Amino acid sequence: MVDSFWQLFGRRIILIPPKIQHYIDLIVVLTQKELKVKYKSSFLGYLWSVGHPLAFAFVFFVAFKVVMRVEVEDYALFLIAGLFPWQWFSNSVNASPLAFLGNASIIKKVNFSRNLIPFTQVLQDMIHFVLAIPIIMLFLFIYRKAPSLSWLYGIPALLTIQFFMTFGVCLIVSSTNLFFRDLERLTTIFTTLLFYFTPIIYPERMVPEKYKTLINLNPLSPLMVNWRNLFLGGTLEAAYLAISLGYAMLAYLLGYWVYKKLSWKFAEVL
């Protein structure tokens, strides 16, 4: 299925100049590689990318709804709407330390745009997230709700913002990790901490008044809150959208700058 999609995509752009065509082909081939490698040796394949956040949702549901009886409406749905986009971010970032390190043999031999490696990894995780949206819809139906028309522009907008934010972070981590290998361990700790500081398993209104201003200091908060609001009620908050867009641009520019500064040394340190 993925194959035929790309073939269709490839055929339509036959009139594109060769250089850009090659660039697109590189992205396609590298993404295909990521997808194939991921599923090659696992029997359940796609189910794993959905199973992981679902299992988490189940754990949080038991802990907070069943045991601690937190007052949040439709808590299972609430969790899933936040955990899926989070999963994309954390999967990409946690994999990024090895993005360049794991492709040492190519980087040492071939001169190509190396930033395409983290780019395609983030793209691949994004595809998984998009493929998981039907699961969110399924839960909406279970809770007698329906997708909203605003998804049509809301999803692409948030996808773009999250893509550049994630890609920026991944560029920083994957480039720096070549010179400072401890980053690999730090990254998982960092994403775990960030997860609990982001309103995903709790709504932002439950955050005590004196800490409320801190929420927007976390680049992921406005984005994740927007995702959840979009999935649950079809609404997008403009202020959050603007803030997360700002963070995304910042992360991307910073990431690109770090990458540019360090990339010429990659072949030396690998």
Partner 1 sequence: MREPIITFDNVSKIYPLYHHLTGGYKNFLFHLPKWIKSLKNAKFEALRDISFEVHMGETFGIIGKNGAGKSTTLGLMAGVLKPTRGKVIVKGRISPLLELGAGFHHELTGRENILLNGVLMGLTRAEVSRKMSAIIEFSELGDFIDQPIRVYSSGMLARLGFSVVAHLDPEILLIDEVLAVGDMNFQKKCIDKMLGFKKGGVTMVFVSHSMPDIERICDRVMWIDNHSVKMVGTPKDVVLNYSKF
What sign does the dihedral 102-103-108-114 (CA atoms) show? negative
Nearer to partner 1 by Cβ, of 22 and 260: the residue is 22
Show the tokens assigned to 83.
């955990």
Nearer to partner 1 by Cβ, of 69 and 109: the residue is 109
CA distance linking residue 50 with residue 127, whole number of Å: 12
Nearer to partner 1 by Cβ, of 48 and 179: the residue is 179
CB of 120 to partner 1, least distance (A): 11
CB of 191 to partner 1, least distance (A): 22
CA distance linking residue 110 with residue 259, whole number of Å: 17
Q: Which residues bind partner 1 (CB under 8 A)?
A: 10, 18, 21-22, 25-26, 28-30, 32-33, 36-37, 40-41, 105-112, 179-182, 264, 266-269
Instruction: Please give the C-alpha separations between residue 79 and each of 87, 144, 225, 232, in angstroms, as whole numbers.
Output: 12, 16, 11, 11
What sign does the dihedral 215-218-222-227 (CA atoms) show? negative
User: Is 127 exposed, middle or buried (CB count within 10 Å of its CB: 0-12, 13-18, 19+)?
Assistant: middle
CB of 32 to partner 1, least distance (A): 8
CB of 83 to partner 1, least distance (A): 28
CB of 249 to partner 1, least distance (A): 29
Nearer to partner 1 by Cβ, of 10 and 45: the residue is 10
Nearer to partner 1 by Cβ, of 177 and 221: the residue is 177
CA distance linking residue 177 with residue 172, whole number of Å: 8
User: Is 101 exposed, middle or buried (CB count within 10 Å of its CB: 0-12, 13-18, 19+)?
Assistant: middle
CB of 16 to partner 1, least distance (A): 10
Nearer to partner 1 by Cβ, of 71 and 268: the residue is 268
What separation, in Å, do the N-terminal and C-terminal C-alpha atoms of the chain show?
A: 36
Instruction: Please give the C-alpha separations between residue 236 and each of 144, 239, 243, in angstroms, as whole numbers.
Output: 21, 9, 12
